[in-house]
Structure 1
Amino acid sequence: MQALIQTWQRVFAATQSLEGLAPLAIRLYLAPVFMQAGWNKFSAFSDTVAWFGNPEWGLGLPFPTLMVILAAGTELVGGLLLILGLFTRLISLPLMVTMLVAIFAVHWSNGWLAIADTSSWLANEQVMASAEKLERGRAILQEHGNYDWLTSSGNFVILNNGIEFGATYFVMLLALYFLGGGRYTSLDYFLSRKAS
């Protein structure tokens, strides 16, 4: 048992210099997600403002123009900062806020699942109702479209738009908040070494 513990300690010590790879992987995964979301908001700015502000068919948020600017700006600038590993902990906070707003204002009523999967133990009433829509959609496509071509890149699915992705991104950002940008893999690391 002592030999096993010593082997583990040697392996851990040898891989400690690679500990920056996990934050780097998280940063590089999240950066394009946020940059695309920010770009989408800015590229359809007036439509996004209308959706943010309208209480009947949108989110009904106050100051929708300001909210879109803040959300899209945070996502675009935040994505760039994540790529660089610069101010990682700092930018994680407003990005977490955007995820909380998305979770509670947009996705919460749809349950957990992002894609409707009636076989999931997380399937809610809305997901279960999607089974009929999925079958009808397949029938229409098979009758009037080139179904084999349409599904050659993947299955035909119903989007449920639940909190799954937002919650996952929030947890990843929370990890970055505590881990930082990463040893040897971020500008944060090199700036902190230079400062000390």
Structure 2
Amino acid sequence: MSITTQKPAQPLLSRVDGVGHWLAPLGLRILLAWEFFEAGREKLHGENWFADLGDKFPLPFSLLGANVNWTLATWMELVGSIALLVGLGTRYTAAALWVLTIVAIYAVHWPSDWSSLSELWQGYAISNEGYGNYKLPLIYLVMLLPLMLNGGGRFSLDHLIGARRTPVASATADNTAWGLVLFAIGLTISPLLPWAGGVLAVVGIVLMAWRRRRTLHAGLLASA
């Protein structure tokens, strides 16, 4: 006589997490796709006003010229929105739109002159009253971050393509991963907040170097 063992039921919150893997990234993708598509469509059918910004673009975009930057922004928003909607190359698309949003904040939405954090905080608004207008693009950055780090979720072409490949065991975050993420974030926000971006970038480099140092040290001990 065979005895069948029944697997214990998972806690309810764990099962809700399973639903979240499908729906949570999808909501972010749909909303961001719509917003960036609207922005790209307005540029596609509108006049190029980037020339009015003068030299406000950060390097290396300040070297490209208004027409090139306008074309890049337009098609990045249009193509990127479609890629987000279907969940194709989600991490890379979100990273590209992150950089695009940082450039937009620097060139358009960031206060041109501020001497204190209280003045900078006044720019956290959707209506521009002379202190900047970076609230909405900052919200976009926060929404793009989980897509960059976690991908498009299970309701995406990325997941469908990945399911056909050999599964890779999930790994926990180590110093190298933390260092890479902090370095990338610090590097991109440095045009807006040089000190904060610089600190994050340096911390990222230290974490990556520390991991490499420990690896080399372990290799030397093993060969000794």
Give the TM-score range, shorter chain: 0.5 to 0.7
CA deviation map 1:62-84 (0-9, x unaligned): 41111111111111001001110
Greater relative CO (CA pairs within 8 A, separation 6+): 1
For residue 165 of structure 1, what is the aligned residue in structure 2?
136
Match of 1:195 among 165, 169, 172: 165
Superposed, which structure 2 residues align to 1:62-101 within 5 Å? 62=63, 63-101=65-103
Instruction: Tell me which residue corresponds to 2:149.
Output: 178
Percent of aligned pairs with the same residue? 32
Distance in 1 of aligned mates of 2:32 and 2:93: 12
Distance 1:94 1:10 in 2: 38
Give, in whole Å, the separation in 2 of the partners of 1:106 and 1:49. Answer: 10
Contact 2:40 2:77 survives alignment (8 Å): yes
Correspondence 1:30-179 to 2 at 5 A: 30-45=32-47, 47-52=48-53, 54-55=54-55, 61-62=62-63, 63-109=65-111, 124=119, 158-160=127-129, 162-179=133-150
Cα distance between partner residues in 2 of 1:23 and 1:68: 29
SS in 1 for 2:11: helix
- Count, aligned residues: 147
**Amino acid corresponding to residue 51 of structure 1 in structure 2:** D
RMSD: 3.0
- Report SS of the residue matched to 1:109: coil
**Which runs of 5 or more residues in structure 1 are unaligned?**
1-6, 112-121, 129-156
Contact 1:110–1:126 (8 Å) recurs in 2:
no
What is the CA-CA distance between 1:167 and the residue it aligns to?
Answer: 1.1
Separation in structure 1 between the aligned mates of residue 68 and residue 107 of structure 2, nearest angstrom: 16
Q: Distance in 2 between matches of 1:190 and 1:33?
A: 25
Counterpart secondary structure, 1:86: coil
Segments of 5+ residues of structure 2 without an aligned counterpart are 1-8, 167-224
Deviations 1:110-160 (A, max 9, x none): 79xxxxxxxxxx9749969xxxxxxxxxxxxxxxxxxxxxxxxxxxx9544
Dislocated runs of 4+, deviation >2 Å: 47-52, 58-62, 122-128, 157-161
